[in-house]
Structure 1
Amino acid sequence: MSGLRLVDRRYELRKRPLSQEGMGEVWLGHDNRLNREVVVKFLRVPSGDDDEEHIRRRFERESTIIACLEHPGVPAIYDVGYDGETPYMVMQRIHGLTIADLVAAQHLGTLPIGWVAAIGAQICSVLAAAHGAGLVHRDLQPRNVMLEPYGSVKVLDFGFAVAPSAADISRITQMGVLLGTPACMTPEQMQSNECGPAIDLYALGCTLYEMLTGTPLFSGATPFALMIQQVNAPPPAPRSQRPEVPAELDQLVLSLLEKKPEDRPASAEEAYRQLLPLSVDLGPLPGALDLPSMSSPARMYAGVLHRVFAKTTEREQPAAAYPGEAQENPRRANADTRVLIQHNHPAEAADVLARAELPARRSVDNVNAETMSARYELAGLLFEAADYADAEPIFQVLGEMLPGEATMSEVEFNCRYKAAICAALTDRRRVALERLESLFADYLVTHGDTDNRALRLRRQIGQLQLDTGEHKAARQTFTALLAVAQSPLNNVRLDADEIIEMLASIPAVQNSQPTDPGWQDVLRYADLSDPVLDNLVAALSGRGIAAPLIGYELGNEGWLAELAWPIYKTAIMVLGSLNEQELIDRDTAYDIAGWDARPAARWNADEICRRVTT
């Protein structure tokens, strides 16, 4: 399914599936119509015509039921359909960490007890809603629970295992499909295929145990070995592995892990009531949660809900609407940034500083020195980590804010220089060239053009001129540098042989214009700002072939080709201002009409000559 587009090319999938487990295949994708990230889940139907039809009907029924399960802890369903014969479901993309990854990332392998209780309470809220709608998850486990950056929990994978009937279970188990994950499956599932809300409570106990201890409840070399332990082995108490676990939490986990479903808590609501009082001291989880200096509309919303029907005797101070609005918040943002940097999370640190930037600009002195210092440090770390796309805007903003001194400071020079280098390293060489030329002009005012730094700038400007097709300018730059390198007074680090090689690599400048009036018009009026197109036209204009039409339009839609030979149905296309879908429609129109229409980068002069002379 690589590169697949679904439903009239609406959903564009990543190159590889995110996961392939059991009866499902999960892909990250993009909804081109609504311009949003999505998750697309395909149902992998076992072979056999009767079974396929049965599972397809059940899939359609279940997707309808899930769509009606509206809860903030359940990803929304956006769409369902078929790709050929394969059913699929389009769901909300959730950002965050799975509980399995969160536990693995902890220094000692265990989560803070308050967070274990808080995550468990949120899972109970989701289960209460699901069980109230007659749904059973059947595969609750740490990999199917995700913690979002603002602290909320999403329970995943309701998609293919809900609202089962006895006939469903009998039929699917006959096909050899295991409904659930052995590490979290109940004894009754393995012994008699029973399926009710109690199996989700047992899985909740397994999940709480793993969060508390950092290890699964049972382990075994094979699924069968795990199943035997789930049926026969008594569960170890969490306190035996972690003595600081509160007695009431230890007892709750053991009650959820009872072998008989009737011995477990009566409902998810009952487990919630026991977990909620333990959900305290919910401090930072570096790399998993946004830090306190970042605003959270979701927590603002929840802060109101917890006061509904509550007897409130004190007025609570609302959180600042923007991080940094309080006088001390820029300093707190810097501290948060350094914590994230120490834990090797530069991207999250960049988000913290980006959110703090606007309020810092509102402050009395307009520019907060601590914020500037933290941003400069972060940009340097991102640059060293080759994360040029994130480093560039930080360097660029700092470079714009710093000027004002009579002499360019070292920090200003570094910010402007690295902003240009970041642009070059992300394939935006013309932007990089403009920035370096501007930096060089300002540097000359106070430092002249013969020190090592100025010459290094000129060397890099010449390279970018060559890369962007400005051959005449590149020749002038390298010729001037060669004069400095060959001067007997040369006391700077310039390699004359290297510069001579660079000059030799520059294509000869074509001084003569083609005599054909049609080609003269092409050179005069066509948009040749793309150096690839410019070089292609220069090569074609001397071949003696017919000149193309400029700005040819195809069909009633007027799909534009920059240059075209209509008799030979050959065209050179440009990107222009078209979006992705418009580009697809344009190229399709030319294909249907029998044209060979390509961007300049996919043509060479010999190919075009062969087409327009035969």
Structure 2
Amino acid sequence: MGEVWFGYDNKLDRPVAVKFVRIDRQSDAADELTKRFVRESRITARLEHPGVPAVYDCGSHGDDLYLVMQLVDGCPVSSVLDETEVPVAWAVAIAAQACSVLAVAHARSLVHRDLKPANLMLCPDGTVKVLDFGIAAAFAPNLATRLTRTGVVVGTPDYMAPEQAVNGTTTAQSDLYSLGVVLDELLAGDNQFAGATALASMRNHVEVAPRPLRTRRRDVPEGLERLVLWLLAKSSDERPATAGVVYERLMDFCRDLPPFPGYVDLGSPHPVRMYAAVVGRITSAVPGAVRRQTQSARPLPARQAEDRHRADPAGIDREDVELARRDAEALKAQSRFAQAADVLAEAVAPAGRAFGAKDPDVVDLRIELADALFLGGDYRRAAPEFRRLAADLAEREGPGHDLVLRCRLMEANCHAAVGETRRALAQLGDLLRDERRLGVDEERILELRRQIGLLVLGAGDRAGARIALSGLLPDLERRYGPGHPTVGQVQEILKNLDGS
């Protein structure tokens, strides 16, 4: 995919790492890939966690894209696996630290998509860095494409979740599956799903049941074996709900970390361990701290909130609303979607108080905010924005208005993107019934049916996907003809589902 160079930042007088990523400049998609690379780099740069290298800069140089980041001193976990047997507690510690990164990333709707030992760096102080956040996302098809068509599958076949292998659909649960493969390999010493070819590996993830760890390494605790099997469930719905749940379970198996000579330096007090030792005592030393923080974050009582609004009047006019829209549009043109969302969010609340949430100018502002959140990958914030818009627009324009239906579709896409597959499928099913009843254009209905079929497949329900796509195929052939690319894609999926 590219290569990493040692570099030096002359301006700030520090060493850096420069990752060059090659793209085909002759491709029709080259400009789009460049924009997405910059967008994903910006999203990643906002991910603040000690387990993620800091991002300093990004851009293009000649035919390559580049990412300038913190230079990490450590050993790739892939090299550790090649050189030694990893103690059980350290295997768990590596996975737990990676899981703490995933918990923060997933809360911000950021999915890694290519978690593997080569993307984990074990440092001499015992910390783990997760590398290449955003790289896979930049080269994956966009969200709508991932949900509606087959195409480029981004990731590493040996560590790829079944839904990712089948049709490129990735969610937080896909990352957890990959983490399970990594942890299984750290404990057993080999990747049980690796095949002779990339296709063989992908088929193994889809079809081969995982072997229990204790048949391959006797000193693995039974509870840890169950956790790994839970992570390796074929259906994303059957895996743990969040990375936080996995982290808590993992911590039970790495309370006392033994020496790990050659990889972790225990000979001198490392500043990171000293710092973490103090911070790690906060919850146990002050048991009420979490509860008090939660209480302080509660919303103000209604009367206090009204008093605050009276003390801080809207102070906004139509010109201010238009200015916010223009500023946001300029930021979006530069793929600065998070900043655009901040600008719009700052204007939406006072504009709503001044003119009403259903005022046409305010609704337009809210639509742009929801779109900016979606384009910036902040699906958890975007979903309720689309839901409220659909409700308000339905009241103003009627339930069959095109914008109402679009907002409903976008909310479902948000839930699908963060792994809430059942909720997304329920919403898409309701939308399909309403669009049929309303007589929406057949092409939109066919596209929605295909999206539902592929989302069912991505959730691991092969039988359900076969039923949905088999029923869709003749309608696609009738509408577009047997030689249409969409028809061929569905035929290929059904062929794979039939095992031929």
1:280 and 2:255 correspond: yes
1:244 and 2:222 correspond: no
Structure 1 match to 2:201: 226
Could you give the per-residue CA deviations for residues 156-183 of structure 1, whole angstroms, max 9, x where no partner exists?
1114123863246489964xx5411111
When residues 43 and 258 of structure 1 are mapped into structure 2, their CA distance, relative to the original with a 3 A threshold, is same
In structure 2, C-alpha distance between the alignment counterparts of 1:39 and 1:94, rounded to whole Å? 8
Opposite residue 245 of structure 1, the aligned amino acid is: V
Segments of structure 2 that go 5 or more residues without pairing to the other structure are 288-500
Structure 2 match to 1:166: 143
1:187/1:259 contact within 8 Å kept: yes
When residues 168 and 96 of structure 1 are mapped into structure 2, their CA distance, relative to the original with a 3 A threshold, is farther
Segments of structure 1 that go 5 or more residues without pairing to the other structure are 1-21, 314-614
In structure 2, C-alpha distance between the alignment counterparts of 1:232 and 1:171, rounded to whole Å? 23
Which of 40, 57, 70 in structure 2 is aligned with 1:92? Answer: 70
Which of 93, 100, 103 in structure 1 is aligned with 2:81? Answer: 103
1:51 and 2:29 correspond: yes
Structure 2 match to 1:310: 284
Task: Name the one with the larger helix percent.
Answer: 2
Opposite residue 271 of structure 2, the aligned amino acid is: P
Opposite residue 88 of structure 1, the aligned amino acid is: Y
1:78/1:91 contact within 8 Å kept: yes
Opposite residue 215 of structure 1, the aligned amino acid is: D
In structure 2, C-alpha distance between the alignment counterparts of 1:219 and 1:298, rounded to whole Å? 36
When residues 35 and 62 of structure 1 are mapped into structure 2, their CA distance, relative to the original with a 3 A threshold, is same
Could you give the per-residue CA deviations for residues 364-410 of structure 1, whole angstroms, max 9, x where no partner exists?
xxxxxxxxxxxxxxxxxxxxxxxxxxxxxxxxxxxxxxxxxxxxxxx
1:124: Cα distance to partner? 0.7
User: The residue matched to 2:135 in structure 1 has which SS?
Assistant: coil
1:64 and 2:42 correspond: yes
When residues 133 and 162 of structure 1 are mapped into structure 2, their CA distance, relative to the original with a 3 A threshold, is farther
In structure 2, C-alpha distance between the alignment counterparts of 1:33 and 1:166, rounded to whole Å? 38
2:73/2:124 contact within 8 Å kept: yes
Structure 2 match to 1:209: 184
Could you give the per-residue CA deviations for residues 590-610 of structure 1, whole angstroms, max 9, x where no partner exists?
xxxxxxxxxxxxxxxxxxxxx
1:220: Cα distance to partner? 1.7
1:32: Cα distance to partner? 2.6
Structure 2 match to 1:119: 94
1:115/1:280 contact within 8 Å kept: no
Structure 2 match to 1:295: 269
The size of the alignment, in residue pairs, is 285
Deviates more, 1:73-82 or 1:36-45: 36-45
User: The residue matched to 2:183 in structure 1 has which SS?
Assistant: helix
Which of 14, 20, 26 in structure 2 is aligned with 1:36? Answer: 14
Taking structure 2 as the reference length, the TM-score comes to 0.54
Which of 112, 115, 118 in structure 2 is aligned with 1:137? Answer: 112
User: The residue matched to 2:136 in structure 1 has which SS?
Assistant: coil
In structure 2, C-alpha distance between the alignment counterparts of 1:173 and 1:147, rounded to whole Å? 35
When residues 173 and 53 of structure 1 are mapped into structure 2, their CA distance, relative to the original with a 3 A threshold, is farther
**How do 1:502-521 and structure 2 match up within 5 A?**
none
1:63: Cα distance to partner? 1.0
Q: Which has the larger radius of gyration?
A: 1
In structure 2, C-alpha distance between the alignment counterparts of 1:132 and 1:198, rounded to whole Å? 12
User: The residue matched to 1:288 in structure 2 has which SS?
Assistant: coil
In structure 2, C-alpha distance between the alignment counterparts of 1:42 and 1:159, rounded to whole Å? 14
User: The residue matched to 1:50 in structure 2 has which SS?
Assistant: coil
Could you give the per-residue CA deviations for residues 253-289 of structure 1, whole angstroms, max 9, x where no partner exists?
0010000000001110000010001113312211111
In structure 1, C-alpha distance between the alignment counterparts of 2:81 and 2:7, rounded to whole Å? 27
Structure 2 match to 1:587: none
In structure 1, C-alpha distance between the alignment counterparts of 2:247 and 2:55, rounded to whole Å? 26
1:194: Cα distance to partner? 1.3
**How do 1:173-212 and structure 2 match up within 5 A?**
174=151, 177-212=152-187
User: The residue matched to 2:65 in structure 1 has which SS?
Assistant: strand
Structure 1 match to 2:360: none
Structure 2 match to 1:486: none
Structure 2 match to 1:570: none
- Same amino acid, percent of matched pairs: 46
In structure 2, C-alpha distance between the alignment counterparts of 1:25 and 1:311, rounded to whole Å? 46
2:126/2:264 contact within 8 Å kept: yes
Could you give the per-residue CA deviations for residues 45-82 of structure 1, whole angstroms, max 9, x where no partner exists?
13544310111111111111111001000000011122
1:83: Cα distance to partner? 1.4
1:40: Cα distance to partner? 0.8
User: The residue matched to 1:161 in structure 2 has which SS?
Assistant: helix
**How do 1:438-587 and structure 2 match up within 5 A?**
none
Could you give the per-residue CA deviations for residues 456-483 of structure 1, whole angstroms, max 9, x where no partner exists?
xxxxxxxxxxxxxxxxxxxxxxxxxxxx
Deviates more, 1:63-72 or 1:184-193: 184-193
In structure 2, C-alpha distance between the alignment counterparts of 1:222 and 1:257, rounded to whole Å? 21
In structure 1, C-alpha distance between the alignment counterparts of 2:59 and 2:203, rounded to whole Å? 39
| Structural RMSD (CA) | 2.1
1:136/1:161 contact within 8 Å kept: no
Could you give the per-residue CA deviations for residues 567-594 of structure 1, whole angstroms, max 9, x where no partner exists?
xxxxxxxxxxxxxxxxxxxxxxxxxxxx
User: The residue matched to 1:309 in structure 2 has which SS?
Assistant: helix
In structure 2, C-alpha distance between the alignment counterparts of 1:82 and 1:211, rounded to whole Å? 36
Structure 2 match to 1:319: none
In structure 2, C-alpha distance between the alignment counterparts of 1:162 and 1:129, rounded to whole Å? 17
User: The residue matched to 1:278 in structure 2 has which SS?
Assistant: coil
